[in-house]
Structure 1
Amino acid sequence: MHIKSEPPILYFGTPVVLISTVNEDGSYNLAPMSSAFWLGWRCMLGLAAPSKTTQNIIRSGQCVLNLPSVAQAAAVNRLARTTGSNPVPAGKQQKGYRYVREKFALAGLTPLPAETVAAPRVQECPVQMEAGVAAVHPVAADNPLQQGRIVTIELRIQRVYLDTSILAEGHTNRVDPDKWRPLIMSFQQFYGLGPQVQPSTLAQIPEALYYSPDIDRARELAV
């Protein structure tokens, strides 16, 4: 039986992303989020407009999307309820956030240089993606109470780095889903993926048929 319900959030399960950006003074910011999805070599992020990460991405036009595995759950937790904004915005104060300048040190994570952006990669994350901003879109512009509070940012992926431990045998451009165990956020709780339920019909389509022109564009970027 189904009943009408009004849950305050609708986070039914999405991967955690650690977004690294550069602050105005050149220091690094690192923030966890889970409102993200990918289409080809494009990524859509849903972010609070006043957040430091959002401001840094829009100002600089770039960031790095680092995908933690279940092994990095503790590091992600250490970043929870921290912000790079000083003073801490009122909304985040209410939720118990505190200002932290050295996010990498707090999390126990290691910054690595990127090739096409100034923001660093996170060494411990098995997946790292350098990205540039393609567009910024307002969310909930039809509601005066929410106007200007949320944005979606369309990113164009420029470099992808994969740890060899998650690659399919004999492949350099294909992830083995039996080896990749992303950290999943579901209703504010951490989960991992279990074993395959059954083979997917979509898996019969060769991955090469999804090749994106953005890959060619990314190759043209100078190192």
Structure 2
Amino acid sequence: MHHVCTPSILYFGTPVVLVGTSNEDDTYNLAPISSVFWLGWRAIIGVSASAKTAENLLRTRQCVLNLPSVNEAFAVNRLAKTTGSNPVPAAKLKRDYRYEPRKFETAGLTPQAGQLVAAPRVLECPVQLEASLAAVHTTGLEDPDLRGRILIFELRMLRVHALPQLMMDGHPNRIDPDKWRPLIMSFQEFYGLGEKVHYSTLAEIPEVLYQTADMMKAGRQ
């Protein structure tokens, strides 16, 4: 018998992403998020409207989605309760966040310039996705208490950078899920992936059949 409950959050498990954006003074901001999913060569991320990441994305319309592995959990922790917004937004003050403009130094990570966007890649992250902003959506439109508090950014991928050791043998454009070990956030705790548990019928479909127009256009960037 299932139990009816009211969890305060419903983070059942998503990858951690370090979103790299450029500040108005050409310095870098780096922020961890875990509200993300992919559709083809597009990503959907959710960000607080008061966050520096949201401000930078709306202004520059570009970013890098840096995907840490389980080996970078320590760096994500160092960023977890920091913000590039000054003054610190009221909601974050209640959660003991502090203003920190030197995100890379704080995390012990190394910035790399984007090749197609003016936003930072993270050297230590095994996967880096350069992206441009395609659209912005607002959550909670039907509720005045929630309207505008969270923004949903639809991002179009422009270029994918991945470590060679992640690639499937004999397939230079396919990441091997047996080699990729993303950092997962589940109910505020860090986890990694275990071994494959069962054969997937979807794996019978050639990956090339999922190519989209976004991918083909990005290849010409």
Task: Specify if TM > 0.5.
Answer: yes
Give the aligned partner of residue 100 of structure 2: 100
- Structure 2 counterpart of 1:22, which letter? S
* Deviation for aligned residue 1:117: 0.4
RMSD: 0.7
CA distance in 2, matches of 1:113, 1:63: 11
Q: Residues 47-196 of structure 1: matches in 2 within 5 Å?
A: 47-196=47-196
Query: Which residue type is aligned with residue 78 of structure 2?
Result: R
| 1:64-98 CA-partner distances (Å, limit 9, x unpaired) | 00000000000000001000011111110100000
Equivalent pairs, count: 221
In structure 2, distance between residues paired with 1:114 and 1:45: 19
Q: TM-score, normalised by structure 1?
A: 0.98
Shift in Å, 1:18 = 0.2
TM-score (norm 2): 0.99
Compute the displacement of 1:220 (Å).
2.8
Q: SS at the partner of 1:18?
A: strand
* 3-state secondary structure, aligned to 1:172: strand
Deviations 1:120-156 (A, max 9, x none): 1101001100000000001011111011101110000
Distance 2:78 2:173 in 1: 32
| Whole-Å separation in 1 of the counterparts to 2:40 and 2:184 | 20
Paired residue type of 1:25 = D
Query: Counterparts of 1:107 and 1:62 in 2: how far apart (Å)?
Result: 22
Aligned counterparts of 1:195 and 1:29: Cα–Cα separation in 2: 34
2:28 is matched with 28
SS at 1:173's partner residue?
strand
| Deviation for aligned residue 1:219 | 2.4
Alignment partners' CA distance in 2, 1:78 and 1:204: 41
Q: Unaligned 5+ residue runs, structure 1? A: none
Structure 2 spans left out of the alignment, 5+ residues = none
Tell me, in whole angstroms, the C-alpha distance in 2 between the residues paired with 1:210 and 1:102.
39
Q: After the TM superposition, which segments of 4 or more aligned residues of structure 1 sit over 4 Å from their partners?
A: none
Q: Distance in 2 between matches of 1:94 and 1:186?
A: 22
